[in-house]
Structure 1
C-alpha cells in the first residue's frame, strides 16, 4: 500500500522570492493550488511563472499580482495573457513544443517548483497526469519541489502519464471541473477547406490535427476513409466518432501501431470520459510525441496546421499579427517537419483566404511588418484555402506565387499578381490570374478512376505553365500533327503561359491530371474557344499517348458539353482531320454531326445544344 499523501504546502518553506515555478498545462491548470499560494504568499515576491497554453482565468497575470508574479509563457492564449504580453507585463518565449522540456532538463530555465494537477493515487501509489502530459512530466522530473492538486475528477490516462506520490513534496485534495472546449460547427468556408484537405488524406494515413473549425471540418469529411491512425500532440472530440466507427483504428501505423498517440486533449466532458481508463489512447510527453524523428516514423504522416498569413513564397506566420504576439510556435514546425520526412507524408497549412469579414487577404505578397516566420518556405508542401490546394514542394518562386494566387480570394488575385510582378517573381508576359469554373462544382475538382488509377479533372491555371510545356514535349509527331495540323517543334514558356492563362468565364480550358503526393502530371487537355457570335464555341482536346482509348477525351468532352449547356450556348463545333478516326469517334459518340467542309482532308462536326437544354 502506498504511503499517505504529503501535507498541504507550506509556501514559505517551499518557495523563496525570485524562484521560478512551472504551472500545469491546458485543461490541467491547478487553480485551487494557485489560489492557495496567492492566499499564503506573505513575504514572497517576483516569483517567475512559466507555462505553455493554459485554459484558466489567468488571474496570475492581472496587474494586482505584478509584485508577486512575473509571467513567462511559451504559448499565449486568452485575452488577459495577450494584453499582458502586449503591455510588457508578461514575457513570451518562442520555442518548439518538442524542445520546451529541454529548457528545464538542461537548466536553461531551472525549476524551483512545479505546480501540477493529478488524479488520486491507485493502490500502488501512482497518480495520473490525466489530460495533460505534454511538458508536465519533464517539469515533475526536474523541479526541486513538486506540489500537486489531487483532483478526483481527473481522468486516468494510459501511457507515460504517471507520477508516484513519493515524488510529491506537498499536496492538497480539491475537486475541480475540467474546463471544456465544445466543438465549433464548421461554417461554409471551413467546410470547403475541410473537403479539400480530406482529398489529400489517403487511406492508411496517420493524422495530426489541431483544434477549431478547420480540424472539425476535416474530420467531418473523413467518414468514409479507411484504416486511419492518429499521432498528434492534441486530440479533440472529433476523433471519438471516427474511432468508434473504425475509421480511425491505427492498424496501418508504423509507430505505436494499434494506439492513438497524443500528449494532451482538449474538448468536452465526453472526451474526458472517453480517455478515462482507455488503453487504446496513450499520452506521452511532448518531447516524444512532437519529436520530428518520431513523427516521421509513421508512414503517410499528414500534419494539418493553420496560419495567420502566408506570403507568396510560402512563408508561414502563425504566432503574431504584425508586432503583436498572438499565440506561439507550439508544435507546428515539429509536425510539418516530421510529416515532410515521413515516407508518403504531407505537411499541410490550412487557412481561410481572408480575415476581417473578407476585407483582408491572408495570402499576402509579403509578410506584415513585425510578423515572424514560424514555418519557413522550405517546410510547407501544401497550402489549402476554400479555393483549393496549392502544391509548393519542388516549385520555383514563380510557380509558388502563381499556385498561391490561385487559392487566394478572387477579389485579391489581380493585385497579388501585380505586386509580385514588381519583384520579377513572375515574368513580364504573365498578365492574367487564375479564374474559377463554378460549373465544375464548389470545389472545382472531379475525381476520375481510369484504368484503376485516380485522376483529377480540373481547370488549367497559370501555375500549370511548366507542366503544360512538359505535356507538349511528351507528344509524338503524329499526335502533334493531328492536334495542330502541322508539326510544331517548340513550346516556349511564353507560349505555354498564354495557353494556361485563360479567362475561364469566356473560354474554357480543362485538364486531367495524375496527382500523387507533390507530383503533378497533365495527361489530357480539353478547350473550347467562344466564337465571335457569343453563342457558339470551337472545341479541341489532346491526350497523352499512353491513355489513348482509355476514355479521357470522352470525359473531357462530356464536361465541356455540360458547361457549355449551363452557360447557355447554342452549339459547339470541332474541326478534325478526316484520317483521325479515333478523334472522330469521340465526337460522334457525343452526338456531334458531320457538316459539309471546304477542305476534303478535314471534317467539321457540330453539336446543337438547344435540344439538350
Structure 2
C-alpha cells in the first residue's frame, strides 16, 4: 500500500470529518492532552445532532453546549473543564474505577466514534496516540468510525497505543501545541510530606505516583534513591528529573525490563519532548496499568495518592470537597487494593492536615452524609500529613484514631480527642 497516497485520500477539513458522525452515535475522546480540539470544534458546529453522547475524561475545555436531546455530555472524571457544568446540570458524571472504563464503555455504548489527537504517521502507516493509551486504544478496536487529528506536537511514543492508517475513517491536520499542565507551587508543607513519604520508599521499589504539589515534593526527595521502577497510570513532568538524577532504571522489572509503563502522560513541553521516540517508555491500556491483579504482581509496589479528607476509621474521601463533587475515583482504590495484595506493597494516602486557611481539619471524626468513600478502611495503609506518617494497616479502630490524631494539626487535636471519646473510639 502507498501510505502517503492513502493518507491524502483520507485527509479532509474538520467539518468534513465531523460529518461522519451519525444520529445516535456515541463519541469517545481520550483524556487530556489527547483530546482533539479541531474535531471537537467541528462537532460543536454541527446543527443536526440527535441522540448523540460524548464521553470525556479529565477534560480541559468547556463542554459543548447543546441540548441533551442533541448531545449529552458524560464525564468520567471531573476536572476544571467540566466541574462547574456538572454542578449546573449540563454534564453528567459516570462513576467508575479507571481500569473498568474500557469494559464499561463497551457495555453501555454502541455505534462508537473515536476521536483523538495523534502523532504524524510513520513509514509503516502507524499513528501513535502519543501521550495517551488509556481507554481510547482498546475501544478504538471496536469503533465503527475512527477520526484522527494529526498534530506534529504530539510525541511519538511506543506501546499498545498505535493506530494504523487502514483502520482510520478520516483524518484532519491541526498542528498546535499540546495542552500543558500548570506547574504546581510546592509549599513547605508539601516538602515535609514529601520527605515523610520518601522515608517509606526503598531502593528498588516500584512507584505509582501522579501530578500535583505533593507528588512533585515526593519525587524531589527521591533523587538520591536508586534502581526505582515506575509502574503508574500517569507520567508527570517531574519524572524527567528522576530519570536524569539516575534514580529510575526500571531494571527490577520482569515484565518490561528497563521501561516505565503508564496509560497517559500530562506535563509540559519538556515532558513531551522527553517522551518523543524514547524507548524507555511503553504505553499500555488502562485495564492493564490499573488492573488489581497486575498491580499485585509488582514486588515492592508503592502507591502514592492524594485525598481530600480521612476519617477515624481510615476511610478516604478523595472526590468531594464540602458539598461539591470535585473529581472522581480514578485509579486510587485499584492501586490501594493492588498494593495491599502485593509482596512488600505499600499504599500511601497523602493530604495536608488542614484546608489552606487552616480553619478546617482534614482529619475528621466522621464524614458528612452523602460523602463518597474512595478508599475503603480495609485497604488504607499509610496516611501522611505534614505532621508525620500514620500506619493504619493492622491497627484497630482505637489505634487508628490515636495515630490519625497524632498527624492532625495540633490546634485540632484536643477537639478530635473529645469527639473520639464521644464516639467511644478513645
Task: Tell me the TM-score range normalised by the shorter chain.
Answer: over 0.9
| Aligned residue number for residue 87 of structure 1 | 88
RMSD over aligned Cα atoms: 1.6
| Aligned residue number for residue 133 of structure 1 | 133
Superposed CA deviations along residues 403-434 of structure 1, whole A, max 9, x for unmatched, are 111111111111111112112122xxxxxxxx
- Separation in 1 of the partners of 2:295 and 2:282? 15
Q: Is the 8 A contact 1:261 1:283 kept in 2?
A: yes
Residues 353-362 or 11-20, more deviating: 11-20
Q: Secondary structure at the match of 1:330?
A: coil
Aligned pairs for 1:330-369 within 5 A = 330-369=330-369
> Which of the residues 73, 76, 90 maps onto 2:75?
73
> Which of the residues 51, 61, 67 maps onto 1:57?
61
Q: Is the 8 A contact 1:229 1:260 kept in 2?
A: yes
In structure 2, stretches of 5+ residues that fail to align are: none
Superposed CA deviations along residues 52-110 of structure 1, whole A, max 9, x for unmatched, are 112x32241x4x665642111110001x51111112221101100000011133x3233
Q: Is the 8 A contact 1:321 1:371 kept in 2?
A: no
- Separation in 1 of the partners of 2:41 and 2:70? 13
Q: Is the 8 A contact 1:254 1:298 kept in 2?
A: no
Residues 109-118 or 309-318, more deviating: 109-118
> Which of the residues 40, 45, 50 maps onto 1:34?
40
| 1:232 to 1:158, Cα distance in 2 relative to 1, 3 A | same
Q: Is the 8 A contact 2:22 2:49 kept in 1?
A: yes
Aligned pairs for 1:209-228 within 5 A = 209-228=209-228
- Separation in 1 of the partners of 2:248 and 2:362? 32
| 1:286 to 1:194, Cα distance in 2 relative to 1, 3 A | same
Cα deviation, residue 42, structure 1 = 2.9
| 1:11 to 1:229, Cα distance in 2 relative to 1, 3 A | closer
Whether 1:280 aligns to 2:250 is no
Aligned pairs for 1:324-473 within 5 A = 324-426=324-426
- Separation in 2 of the partners of 1:355 and 1:161? 39
In structure 1, stretches of 5+ residues that fail to align are: 427-613
Size of the aligned set, in residue pairs, is 420
Cα deviation, residue 16, structure 1 = 2.9
| Aligned residue number for residue 159 of structure 2 | 159
Whether 1:25 aligns to 2:31 is yes
Cα deviation, residue 254, structure 1 = 3.8
Instruction: Give the number of the structure with larger relative contact order, counting CA–CA contacts within 8 Å between residues 6 or more apart.
Output: 2
Q: Secondary structure at the match of 1:192?
A: helix
- Separation in 2 of the partners of 1:77 and 1:12? 25
Q: Secondary structure at the match of 1:354?
A: coil
Q: Is the 8 A contact 2:58 2:77 kept in 1?
A: yes
Q: Secondary structure at the match of 1:265?
A: strand
Q: Secondary structure at the match of 2:82?
A: helix
Aligned pairs for 1:521-532 within 5 A = none
- Separation in 2 of the partners of 1:19 and 1:322? 36
Q: Is the 8 A contact 2:18 2:42 kept in 1?
A: no
Cα deviation, residue 160, structure 1 = 1.0
- Separation in 2 of the partners of 1:224 and 1:116? 38
- Separation in 2 of the partners of 1:84 and 1:43? 23
- Separation in 1 of the partners of 2:79 and 2:300? 31
| 1:270 to 1:321, Cα distance in 2 relative to 1, 3 A | same
| Aligned residue number for residue 296 of structure 1 | 296
| Aligned residue number for residue 269 of structure 2 | 269
Aligned pairs for 1:461-610 within 5 A = none
Q: Is the 8 A contact 2:159 2:283 kept in 1?
A: yes
Q: Is the 8 A contact 1:321 1:368 kept in 2?
A: no
Cα deviation, residue 322, structure 1 = 4.1
- Separation in 2 of the partners of 1:315 and 1:256? 34
Cα deviation, residue 17, structure 1 = 3.1
- Separation in 2 of the partners of 1:200 and 1:330? 23
| Aligned residue number for residue 582 of structure 1 | none
- Separation in 2 of the partners of 1:73 and 1:108? 14
Q: Secondary structure at the match of 1:121?
A: coil
| Aligned residue number for residue 237 of structure 1 | 237
| Aligned residue number for residue 4 of structure 1 | 6
| Aligned residue number for residue 97 of structure 1 | 98
| Aligned residue number for residue 455 of structure 1 | none
Cα deviation, residue 209, structure 1 = 0.5
Q: Is the 8 A contact 1:307 1:350 kept in 2?
A: yes
Cα deviation, residue 296, structure 1 = 1.9
Superposed CA deviations along residues 525-566 of structure 1, whole A, max 9, x for unmatched, are xxxxxxxxxxxxxxxxxxxxxxxxxxxxxxxxxxxxxxxxxx
- Separation in 1 of the partners of 2:17 and 2:178? 25
Cα deviation, residue 233, structure 1 = 0.4
| Aligned residue number for residue 21 of structure 2 | 15
Superposed CA deviations along residues 465-513 of structure 1, whole A, max 9, x for unmatched, are xxxxxxxxxxxxxxxxxxxxxxxxxxxxxxxxxxxxxxxxxxxxxxxxx
Whether 1:203 aligns to 2:207 is no
Which protein shows a greater Rg? 1
Q: Is the 8 A contact 1:103 1:110 kept in 2?
A: no
